[in-house]
Amino acid sequence: MKVTFSWKDAAEAISPIFSSEAVNKDGISLLSCLLMDDGGVPYRESILWIRKGIVKIDSVLNGEIKTFSWDRESWGALMAIDDTKIYSLHDEAYFECVTLQQLRNALVSWEVFLKSKPNLGERREIEL
């Protein structure tokens, strides 16, 4: 699965964009929805939330915990060693599954991108 990171010039500030080529039947990437769910805070404040997700994924991968639910304002992920379910908090029947390693790769790459200096001309493509 290929994902792309970029920047957009919003009305008041530059914002990061996460997009994925993997979309559901509605043309929506729930992975993108999850990672773009900022909880109403500036994107730099999301770095701690991303870091917490990575730590919990590592705990599942290491067998310290069996599952972990990680969510924000509108989207969540139920992480387990076999599968990770990304779902809407408003409609849990609306979901997609990715591997735990794909989610970890996405979070690590997204964290690095969020820490970088914003550059409107920059596009990074990553294969998860």
Handedness of CA 69, 79, 85, 108 (dihedral sign): positive
C-alpha dist (Å) from residue 42 to 2, 13, 31, 73: 25, 10, 19, 14
CA separation for the pair 120, 57 (Å, rounded): 31
Domain boundaries of the chain, sorted by first residue: 2-127
Categorize the per-residue pLDDT at 97 as very low, low, confident or very high, splitting at 50, 70 and 90. very high
What pTM was computed for the model? 0.93
How far is 77 from 112, CA to CA, in rounded Å?
20
φ and ψ of 62, to 5 deg: -85, 0
Q: What is the mean pLDDT of the chain?
A: 94
